[in-house]
């Protein structure tokens, strides 16, 4: 079964106490960061710490992703060379372009062969956070069969667009829709940008509800306090589950009567509505609600 990625929790790669507890924080994925959360003077130390954490810490069921530095930065290629050897589940390619993803993919193919790892076992999660990235997202996704999802980076994107980032997020609506559509087209995960204000609880809940309504499959987090809220809002509500169960029961009844289309409480039910109901039931089962 495909992995659930409702939450991807970032933590700075140079913070041993955060890394130590990574597996018990309840996030579906952990992103060990070597990029912006780590200052230039700490880059080498963070790489060593992240390598050692992957080798020694029990992450339990959480997926382990390492965010590498940009390839152009002088650290990115070394990050791939050193981190791939300890076999994280995936690498996150920062400020991704098609060329970067291809380069990292080729390096991984070589390292996997040298280390005796299964081919394509290390996956890629491009972080799309520039106007160019948004406009070439299809090329980024198709540049490697290792790509399992896209993370949208709202802060860097709005900086690149020369606009302000707001809690309401209207300015990233186009980018969110583009990421969702491209990811759905290729059946991979679409993960929303983190919400940075830990004190604005209502704004955070609105932000999660908005990205969920647009079709994002999960959301990045920057603090363990954000994990449960994201899981709760991404889960189907009891009302949605009841409605979906009603649709499935009515469909079974209609099938016995040889009908492809039927009505429930006065509303027409046909194939897309049944598919959506099945989707809700499947999500409820996977998240333990049924």
Ligand X SMILES: CC(C)(COP(=O)(O)OP(=O)(O)OC[C@H]1O[C@@H](n2cnc3c(N)ncnc32)[C@H](O)[C@@H]1OP(=O)(O)O)[C@@H](O)C(=O)NCCC(=O)NCCSC(=O)C[C@@](O)(CC(=O)O)C(=O)O
Binding mask 222-251 for ligand X (x = CB under 6 A): xxxx--------------------------
CB atoms under 10 Å from CB of 143, counted, come to: 23
Q: Which of 42, 44, 139, 155 binds ligand X (CB under 6 A)?
A: 155
Q: Could you please report the per-residue DSSP string of 137-168?
A: HHHHHHT-TTB-EEEE-HHHHHHHHT----SS
Residue 129 marked as a ligand binder: yes
Alpha helix locations (H) across 60-161? 76-84, 98-115, 131-135, 137-142, 154-161
Report d(CA 271, CA 68) in Å as an integer: 43
Is 183:141 a contact under the CB 8 Å cutoff?
A: yes
Residues in the chain: 290
CB of 187 to Mg ion, least distance (A): 25
Nearest CA among 172, 225, 170, 234 for reference residue 199: 225
Q: If contact means CB under 5 to 8 A according to the sort of partner, which of ligand X, Mg ion, none does residue 282 touch?
A: none
Residue 67 marked as a ligand binder: yes
**Contacts of ligand X in 35-94 (CB under 6 A):** 36-37
Q: If contact means CB under 5 to 8 A according to the sort of partner, which of ligand X, Mg ion, none does residue 218 touch?
A: none
- CA-CA-CA-CA dihedral for 225, 148, 95, 73, to nearest 10: 100
Binding mask 192-221 for ligand X (x = CB under 6 A): -xx---------------------------
Q: Which of 156, 189, 192, 207 binds ligand X (CB under 6 A)?
A: 156
Q: If contact means CB under 5 to 8 A according to the sort of partner, which of Mg ion, ligand X, none does residue 88 touch?
A: none
Is 42:7 a contact under the CB 8 Å cutoff?
A: no
Is 250:269 a contact under the CB 8 Å cutoff?
A: yes
Q: Is residue 126 close enough to count as binding ligand X by CB under 6 A? A: no
DSSP E strand boundaries for the chain: 7-12, 29-33, 63-67, 90-93, 123-128, 149-152, 189-192, 218-221, 262-264, 267-269
CB of 156 to Mg ion, least distance (A): 4
Q: Is residue 156 close enough to count as binding Mg ion by CB under 5 A? A: yes
Give the tokens for residue 22: 């990574």
Q: Which stretch binds ligand X (CB under 6 A): 41-49, 112-120, 148-156, 273-281?
A: 148-156
**8-state DSSP, 75:** S
CB of 92 to ligand X, least distance (A): 9
Q: If contact means CB under 5 to 8 A according to the sort of partner, which of Mg ion, ligand X, none does residue 223 touch?
A: ligand X
Q: Which of 63, 79, 100, 129 binds ligand X (CB under 6 A)?
A: 129
Q: Which of 12, 76, 153, 154 binds Mg ion (CB under 5 A)?
A: 153
Give the tokens for residue 52: 């050692």
Report d(CA 105, CA 112) in Å as an integer: 10
Q: If contact means CB under 5 to 8 A according to the sort of partner, which of Mg ion, ligand X, none does residue 211 touch?
A: none
Q: Which stretch binds Mg ion (CB under 5 A): 63-71, 124-132, 196-204, 227-235?
A: 124-132
Residue 44 marked as a ligand binder: no
Footprint on this chain of ligand X (rule: CB under 6 A): 9-12, 17-18, 33, 36-37, 129, 153-156, 193-194, 222-225
Q: Would you tell me which residues interact with Mg ion (CB under 5 A)?
A: 129, 153, 156
Binding residues for substrate: 67, 129
């Amino acid at each position: 079964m495909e992995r659930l990625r409702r939450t991807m929790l970032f933590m700075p790669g140079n913070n041993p106490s955060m890394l130590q507890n990574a597996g018990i924080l309840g996030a579906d994925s952990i992103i060990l960061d070597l990029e912006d959360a780590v200052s230039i003077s700490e880059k080498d130390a963070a790489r060593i710490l992240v390598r050692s954490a992957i080798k020694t810490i029990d992450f339990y069921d959480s997926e382990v992703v390492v965010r590498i530095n940009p390839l152009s930065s002088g650290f990115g290629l070394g990050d791939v060379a050193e981190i791939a050897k300890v076999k994280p589940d995936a690498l996150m390619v920062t400020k991704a372009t098609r060329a970067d993803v291809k380069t990292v993919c080729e390096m991984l193919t070589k390292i996997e062969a040298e280390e005796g790892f299964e081919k394509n076992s290390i996956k890629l999660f491009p972080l799309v956070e520039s106007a160019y990235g948004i406009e070439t997202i299809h090329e980024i996704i198709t540049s490697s069969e290792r790509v399992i999802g896209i993370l949208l980076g709202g802060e860097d994107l709005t900086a690149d667009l020369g606009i302000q980032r707001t809690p309401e997020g209207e300015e990233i609506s186009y980018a969110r829709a583009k990421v969702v559509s491209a990811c759905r087209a290729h059946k991979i995960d679409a993960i929303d940008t983190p919400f940075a204000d830990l004190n604005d609880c209502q704004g955070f809940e609105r932000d999660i509800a908005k990205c969920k309504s647009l079709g994002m499959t999960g959301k990045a987090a920057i603090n363990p306090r954000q994990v449960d809220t994201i899981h709760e809002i991404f889960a189907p509500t009891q009302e949605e589950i009841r409605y979906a169960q009603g649709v499935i029961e009515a469909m079974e009844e209609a099938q016995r009567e040889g009908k492809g289309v039927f009505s429930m409480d006065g509303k027409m039910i046909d194939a897309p509505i049944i598919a959506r109901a099945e989707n809700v039931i499947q999500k409820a089962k996977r998240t333990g609600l049924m």
